[in-house]
Amino acid sequence: MANKKSEVLRVLDKVKADGRTSLTAPEGKLVCDAYGIPVPKEGVAKSASEAAKLATSIGFPVVLKIVSPEILHKTEAGGVLVGVKNAAEARKGFDTILANAKKYNRKATVLGVQVQQMLGGGQEVIVGAVTDPSFGKLVAFGLGGVLVEVLKDVTFRLAPASKDDALSMLDGIAAAPILKGVRGSDPVDRQALARIIQNVSQLVSDFPEIAEMDLNPVFATRRGAIAADVRIVVDFAPADARYRPSHEEIVRDMNRIMKPDAVAVIGASSEDGKIGNSVMKNLINGGYQGEIYPIHPSATEILGRKAYKSVKNVPGKIDVAVFAIPAKFVAQALVEVGEKKIPGAVLIPSGFAETGNVEGQKEIQAIGRKYGVRLMGPNIYGFYYTWKNLCATFCTAYDIKGGAALSSQSGGIGMAIIGFSRSAKMGVSAIVGLGNKSDIDEDDLLTFFEQDENTQIVAQHFEDLKDGRAFAEVAKRVSKKKPIVVLKAGRTALGARAAASHTAALAGNDKIYNDVLLQSGVIRAMGLRDLLEFARALPVLPTPKGENVIIITGAGGSGVLLSDAVAENGLSLMAMPPDLDAAFRKFIPPFGASGNPVDITGGQPPKTYQDTVRLGLEDPRIHSLILGYWHTIITPPMVFAKTMVEVIEEMRAKGIHKPIVASLAGDVEVEEASEYLFDHGIPAYPYTTEMPVAVLAAKHKWARGAGLI
Amino acid sequence: MANKKSEVLRVLDKVKADGRTSLTAPEGKLVCDAYGIPVPKEGVAKSASEAAKLATSIGFPVVLKIVSPEILHKTEAGGVLVGVKNAAEARKGFDTILANAKKYNRKATVLGVQVQQMLGGGQEVIVGAVTDPSFGKLVAFGLGGVLVEVLKDVTFRLAPASKDDALSMLDGIAAAPILKGVRGSDPVDRQALARIIQNVSQLVSDFPEIAEMDLNPVFATRRGAIAADVRIVVDFAPADARYRPSHEEIVRDMNRIMKPDAVAVIGASSEDGKIGNSVMKNLINGGYQGEIYPIHPSATEILGRKAYKSVKNVPGKIDVAVFAIPAKFVAQALVEVGEKKIPGAVLIPSGFAETGNVEGQKEIQAIGRKYGVRLMGPNIYGFYYTWKNLCATFCTAYDIKGGAALSSQSGGIGMAIIGFSRSAKMGVSAIVGLGNKSDIDEDDLLTFFEQDENTQIVAQHFEDLKDGRAFAEVAKRVSKKKPIVVLKAGRTALGARAAASHTAALAGNDKIYNDVLLQSGVIRAMGLRDLLEFARALPVLPTPKGENVIIITGAGGSGVLLSDAVAENGLSLMAMPPDLDAAFRKFIPPFGASGNPVDITGGQPPKTYQDTVRLGLEDPRIHSLILGYWHTIITPPMVFAKTMVEVIEEMRAKGIHKPIVASLAGDVEVEEASEYLFDHGIPAYPYTTEMPVAVLAAKHKWARGAGLI
């Protein structure tokens, strides 16, 4: 490819020298040739026999076109012949075109006749590339034609794309069945299309100055694919490279910040109602066992702890400094933090970019870089790390330890996380506010949570990604080990506008976010409640070992709604093998519906639920269970719940771990029963058939993305 | 149209006489001509000059085709000429075709040359009609082409369709922008397309024997539209007409059933755990003030009430009989109910169609029809009508009176309704189980609730509609007065399969349900929880007077998510007029984002919420408000809630009633605050930005459908 690269470079140098922003058609062809992107074969013939020879080597049909600097309107001059079918026609065509040209303009210099492969037929598709401010180079794919444009049916992948990425794009559009051939039409050559996608993505990755590229249309047939038209736009201004510490540095610093042995509170206060007071109280009352150093210009003691004028006066090592001082004093204090070699600053104060003080934010960023201090915020509530009993925040303490790590870009959403978690008694490892994200962002957190033994799932709310490419790269690796759930706010045009006005962040194209998140193995929550419920349920659910889902329900009506939810959430009900069907039917009345859902019918005793669920757990062909409970006198809610827990504990003792979720239809007692089930490893929900299936589907999505099923 | 009808009739008679199930192309053309559906103009010319004349009258280009019984392969015989552009070409073409024909087969009898208008260009669309078992005749519309088929982008309306219906179909497909012209292409002639849709829908309505019809493709251009190909399938077997009592009869009987003065309990029992015991207890303990007559073969008294052997022995009038006896005894008891002239039977027993006992169900249907007894069920939990303190069910009593009437096809879903309602303290007028729907169904209930002064909203869960057309007709009328929310279960292929196995009901095509429900002004809930939340919130919300929605938020992050939800729920944020923007900005810090959402910024005192919300309520350009609350020390949750209630009460006193919903982000205290707000007329939800917007959008949808905005 080295030679090839130099060819492209020569073209680009010429474009740059000319001060142009786009390539000419012949330049585009040269670039395509260099990167193995098929374009129509062509050549210039000087004689009739040469035309015939050339046409034969290209393959018929061909198009003949006059080449003459004086003849601009070729068609008008009779200088174009399409659909030339054989060598004889090519020979004759050459003469005809020459004769026509002479007739049209007897003074014209004729350089020859261009012989070009004639395209058409097959399926029109588009392959392109764009440069996104957050994700960098992306390759795009879609069908050609106006309808696709109207329906916005395109898909994106980070460039360079692997062969699998490229092939996945062919399935990533709504119109995918077209490519496989419908109503007797030919399927396209998937390998050929994937090669073009890969080569385009490699080209734009090798040459960052290629800002945009369009192959439109590409004609894809049963054998091969050819780009009929090439458009390349360049931008020679270098993009700012974002500074990223090494993986080792991130891990080292983030561990000290998130699990500190000593915390300084800059702006600590004895006065009730002050943020510096709340932070101190939360640290102390939260039960944090490390050192706490209040920093205050004059106080000698705050809440029973010795106070210091500056972090520099503190005798021991400090891992993180929590800032509870006004914005204008932050820079100076941050220099001292740097001089003290504290690796992290938690910048609670607002009054930076979010209020228009962009310069102030740049200043602290520069200080952070200079001294190697990682900055969390500014404009945040701080963070919790429960396993250290650490509440480095002015919000109320949170102490239910567990495996869910949550973060939010917005403070309001952070408060909703805390409220929901407390209300649902969700076990949490960390809750982190990222605010303006002047430095520490989602990928830094992911890198920490990846290796944090206390974290089993990461749930993140954000409005933008400062460095989407870094996020995607880290998420792709981390999601193989732990589920990552993301709520990307600002996904509609309206939401994006609000996002822009809120954080001055450039709102990303949602389709790009969507495709890249998927490509990175991230589970996307489509609403705040889903994010929270997924964070709560996913660590509870065992990993499914396959895609076979069954519904066991006492309420036929719930079975129908659960089936709807299964289809909508991208799960599929297992086709019931006859022997398994017969085995289930042994436990249920003869009028119970056969197949899947297993309809045990209403009014059944606990034993029927127990027998069928036990069978569902024991049979190795079944991977996940969805239960539909119907409140009856015969099987009251708590009896159902306890029966189910007995069964799964019996199975666990045998080493059988399968995800089970439950939807409880009944009177208010189902709320207590749901809670009991949840506490015992069965995510269960009253009055909804949607949520249990959504959380199960999220677990399946993760397992699929991580290559576990 | 009388003559026209007779022409179609003649064609159909011939088809029937021939024992055919479809029409020939010329027959199809006759039918289209009779109903003003444009098809290509054509005629047969006997001479070259006649061909030229005919072609000129049709308009160029035309196609010429040999007409000869001996020449089947016209093209092979050189008997077809396309793209004939003028009279001279037509004349010459006639001669050419004749010469070719002679050359091909000198013995062929040539009847002439068919001259046909040549179509092409414009946009290909499809207009069709189908017969649905529940909805009857439906007209369909979509774009032509394979892509549309793959994407299933078609829309349906009940036939006959009004002009407005027809026009709405052109906007009812995802590809609608194509019809308006994109990228320089012509817009289609909307009136011409709407006329074809209307005429097709009228045709199939006039002739029920037309089972299916396809105009595919129809070429729609800037001026006019022509059906290039017509396919008509007939079915002369008459469909069963469903018996429907008159509107007056339904109202009369349903009022006696739902608001009875005397109830008989057939199978009443003194024995705990029996259904007949639970029903008696619920009636008595629920506080029902009418007469209660226990019916029992031997008892003289049950729970302190005099018992009778048969309803026929009861001295007074009875309005409704609740059946709590095994299925096998129902028919006999029902005859007695009929003889006693009781207008309604509530058939709790199971053991009919749902267990395969289809004959048993037919038997009771026949008895009901014979005696004029309306049947509720069988296979139901019964029903509640709270304003009469009536709990005619074996489920636990429900006594929170209010405006929401709910019904469910499934018993399990009924239990979920009861549990959710009780938990949320939802005010309910009625909860009704419909089960097998042997007689009383959703449209009967709608007809009752329409005129029931205690009902403000109707929420219905169903898996199928026995008579979708009747439902649509009634819903279209009722929805103008009261919101109707529907959860149609079995909307995915998977769900539909479960529905079929559950109730032996034919699963409807979901797209048909969706379009007809929309056409009927019904709000469709996409999940059980939505159905319940809509039922709870809609009666609380005043009707918006327009579409202008604003978000006022203390949490910018919530503003972004609320904006996402606004777009996703089909609402739109009002473009903020500069004077109004300036007015809001007076109340908020300078760095608060301008425009809509109104971002009051975090950490504001109650007054800022109060001032901005008051302005939002007072300004007549604003029609609906969405509040995003962020929990802070300065404005704690209950302070926020009370402040908001003060403002809306102040405004109510001034006669200002606008819908307001709220999303509360904060610690667990936001739950209490949400409840307080809800109780005072502001549907409010903790930890979700989706639900408040969804309920507001449902109210807007209703107001739109009812023509109020």
Residue A554 is given by DSSP the state S
pLDDT digits (tens, 9 = 90+) for B255-293: 999 999 999 999 999 999 899 999 999 999 999 999 999
Q: Is A423 in contact with B395 (Cβ distance < 8 A)?
A: no
Give pLDDT, residue B575.
95
Answer yes or no: is pLDDT of A448 > 90: yes
Characterize the bridge pairing of strands A210-220 and A123-132. antiparallel
User: Which whole number is the average pLDDT over B48-61?
Assistant: 93
Give pLDDT, residue B495.
63
Give pLDDT, residue B567.
94
Answer yes or no: is pLDDT of A507 > 70: no
3-state secondary structure of A320: strand
Pick the CATH number of B123-234 from 3.90.1010.10, 3.30.70.270, 3.30.470.20, 3.60.60.10: 3.30.470.20
**With helix as H, strand as E and coil as C, how does A627-664 read?**
EEEECCCCCCHHHHHHHHHHHHHHHHHCCCCCCEEEEE
Q: How many whole angstroms separate alpha carbon A604 and alpha carbon B411? A: 14
pLDDT digits (tens, 9 = 90+) for A266-323: 999 999 989 999 999 999 999 999 999 999 999 999 999 999 999 999 999 999 999 9
Residue pair A141/A127 in contact (Cβ under 8 Å)? The answer is yes
pLDDT category of residue B494 using cuts at 50, 70 and 90? low
Burial of B86 (0-12, 13-18, 19+ CB in 10 A): middle
Give pLDDT, residue A495.
63
Q: How many whole angstroms separate alpha carbon B394 and alpha carbon B349? A: 11
Q: Is B415 in contact with A690 (Cβ distance < 8 A)?
A: no
Residues 638-667 of A with CB under 8 A from B: 665-667
pLDDT category of residue B186 using cuts at 50, 70 and 90? confident
Superfamily of domain B41-118: ATP-grasp fold, A domain (3.30.1490.20)
User: Which whole number is the average pLDDT over B342-350?
Assistant: 97
Residue B664 is given by DSSP the state E
Which residues in chain B are contacts of A492 at CB distance < 8 A?
Answer: 563-564, 566-568
Q: How many whole angstroms separate alpha carbon B240 and alpha carbon B218? A: 33
Pick the CATH number of A244-379 from 3.40.50.10470, 3.40.50.1370, 3.40.50.300, 3.40.50.720: 3.40.50.720
Q: Is B152 on the interface with A (CB under 8 A)?
A: no
Could you please state the CATH topology (level 3) that the domain comprising A400-539 is classified under: Rossmann fold (3.40.50)
Residues 81-110 of A with CB under 8 A from B: none
Strand blocks (E) in B504-582: 523-524, 549-553
Of A148, A422, A561, the CB nearest to B495: A561
Q: How many whole angstroms separate alpha carbon A55 and alpha carbon A64? A: 9
Q: Is A594 on the interface with B (CB under 8 A)?
A: yes
Q: How many whole angstroms separate alpha carbon B218 and alpha carbon B127? A: 7
Domain at A549-705, CATH class:
alpha beta
Of A148, A356, A665, the CB nearest to B412: A665
Residue pair A137/A211 in contact (Cβ under 8 Å)? The answer is no
Which residues in chain A are contacts of B558 at CB distance < 8 A?
Answer: 410, 412-413, 416
Domain at A2-117, CATH class:
alpha beta
Peptide bond connecting A294 to the previous residue in cis, omega within 30 degrees of 0: no
Residue B1 is given by DSSP the state -
Give pLDDT, residue A571.
97
Minimum Cα–Cα distance from A415: chain B residue:
B666
pLDDT digits (tens, 9 = 90+) for B439-481: 999 999 999 999 999 999 999 999 999 999 999 999 999 999 9
Of B498, B630, B691, the CB nearest to A415: B630
pLDDT digits (tens, 9 = 90+) for B300-332: 999 999 999 999 999 999 999 999 999 999 999
Of B355, B628, B666, the CB nearest to A591: B355
pLDDT category of residue A25 using cuts at 50, 70 and 90? confident
Q: How far is CA A407 from CA A244, A398, A445, in A?
A: 20, 14, 8
CATH 3.40.50.720 domain range(s) in chain A: 244-379
Which amino acid, residue B422?
Answer: R
Give pLDDT, residue A493.
64
Q: How many whole angstroms separate alpha carbon A269 and alpha carbon A279? A: 9
| Residue B450 Cα, gap to closest chain A Cα (Å) | 26
Burial of A692 (0-12, 13-18, 19+ CB in 10 A): buried
Q: Is A284 on the interface with B (CB under 8 A)?
A: no
Give pLDDT, residue A494.
60
Minimum Cα–Cα distance from B182: chain A residue:
A146
Token code pair at residue B707: 């023509």
Domain at B247-537, CATH class:
alpha beta
Complex prediction ipTM:
0.91
pLDDT digits (tens, 9 = 90+) for A635-679: 999 999 999 999 999 999 999 999 999 999 999 999 999 999 999
pLDDT category of residue A229 using cuts at 50, 70 and 90? confident
- Length of chain B (residues): 709
Give pLDDT, residue A500.
43
User: Which whole number is the average pLDDT over A167-181?
Assistant: 93
Residue B130 pairs with which residues in a beta bridge? B138
Token code pair at residue A158: 């980070």
Q: What percent of chain B has pLDDT over 90?
A: 81
Answer yes or no: is pLDDT of B133 > 90: no
Residues 358-417 of A with CB under 8 A from B: 395-396, 408-413, 415-416
Q: Which of B118, B106, B111, B107 is nearest to B47 (CA)?
A: B111
Q: Is B494 in contact with A668 (Cβ distance < 8 A)?
A: no
| Residue B212 Cα, gap to closest chain A Cα (Å) | 21
Give pLDDT, residue A506.
29
Peptide bond connecting B378 to the previous residue in cis, omega within 30 degrees of 0: yes
Give pLDDT, residue A504.
30
Answer yes or no: is pLDDT of B496 > 90: no
**With helix as H, strand as E and coil as C, how does A378-446 read?**
CCCCEEEEHHHCEEEECCCCCCCEEEEEEEECCHHHHHHHHHHHHHHCCCEEEEEECCCCCCCCHHHHH
User: Which whole number is the average pLDDT over B125-145?
Assistant: 90
CATH 3.30.1490.20 domain range(s) in chain B: 41-118
pLDDT category of residue A683 using cuts at 50, 70 and 90? very high
Residue pair B448/B377 in contact (Cβ under 8 Å)? The answer is no
Q: What's the mean per-residue pLDDT of chain A?
A: 93
How far the first Cα of chain A sits from its last, in Å, is 37
Of A350, A495, A555, the CB nearest to B560: A495
pLDDT digits (tens, 9 = 90+) for A120-166: 778 999 999 998 888 999 999 998 877 777 888 889 999 999 999 99
Of A411, A564, A667, the CB nearest to B495: A564
Q: How far is CA B607 from CA B217, B573, B670, in A?
A: 63, 24, 19
| Residue B627 Cα, gap to closest chain A Cα (Å) | 13
Angle (nearest 5°) at CA A504 between A503 and A508: 95
User: Which whole number is the average pLDDT over A380-385?
Assistant: 97
Q: Could you write out the DSSP letters of every residue in B389-401?
A: TEEEESSPP---E
Which residues in chain A are contacts of B143 at CB distance < 8 A?
Answer: 147
Q: What's the mean per-residue pLDDT of chain B?
A: 93
Q: Is B418 in contact with A667 (Cβ distance < 8 A)?
A: yes
Residues 418-437 of B with CB under 8 A from A: 418-420, 422-423
Residue A526 makes CB contacts below 8 A (sequence gap 6+) with: A487
Give pLDDT, residue B589.
87
pLDDT category of residue A460 using cuts at 50, 70 and 90? very high
Q: Which of A454, A423, A467, A440 is nearest to A383 (CA)?
A: A440
Which residues in chain B are contacts of A350 at CB distance < 8 A?
Answer: 602
| Residue A147 Cα, gap to closest chain B Cα (Å) | 7
Answer yes or no: is pLDDT of B506 > 70: no
Of residues A319 and A501, the one with the higher pLDDT is A319
Residue B157 pairs with which residues in a beta bridge? B139
Residue B325 makes CB contacts below 8 A (sequence gap 6+) with: B266, B267, B276, B333, B349
CATH 3.40.50.261 domain range(s) in chain B: 247-537, 549-705
Q: Taking the CB of residue A143, how many other CB atoms lie within 10 A of it? A: 23
Of A498, A551, A593, the CB nearest to B560: A498
pLDDT category of residue B396 using cuts at 50, 70 and 90? confident
Give pLDDT, residue B436.
95
Give pLDDT, residue B185.
81
CATH 3.40.50.261 domain range(s) in chain A: 400-539, 549-705
Give pLDDT, residue A498.
55
Q: Which of A640, A639, A677, A635 is nearest to A660 (CA)?
A: A677
Residue A313 is given by DSSP the state G
Residue A241 is given by DSSP the state P
User: Which whole number is the average pLDDT over A602-613?
Assistant: 94
Of B551, B568, B688, the CB nearest to A492: B568
How many residue pairs bridge chain A and chain B with CB atoms within 8 Å of each other?
A: 307
Give pLDDT, residue A186.
87
Give pLDDT, residue A283.
97
Q: Could you write out the DSSP letters of every residue in A493-541?
A: HHHHHHHHHHH-PPPPPHHHHHHHHHHTTPEEPSSHHHHHHHHHHTTTS
Which amino acid, residue A308?
Answer: Y
Kind and range of the H or E run holding B537? helix B528-537
Which residues in chain B are contacts of A665 at CB distance < 8 A?
Answer: 412-413, 415-416, 419
pLDDT category of residue B240 using cuts at 50, 70 and 90? confident
Lowest mean pLDDT among A289-293, A603-607, B179-183, B548-552: B179-183
Give pLDDT, residue B28.
93
CATH 3.30.470.20 domain range(s) in chain A: 123-234
Give pLDDT, residue A3.
66
Burial of A370 (0-12, 13-18, 19+ CB in 10 A): exposed
Q: Which of B151, B128, B205, B141 is nearest to B171 (CA)?
A: B141
Burial of A90 (0-12, 13-18, 19+ CB in 10 A): buried
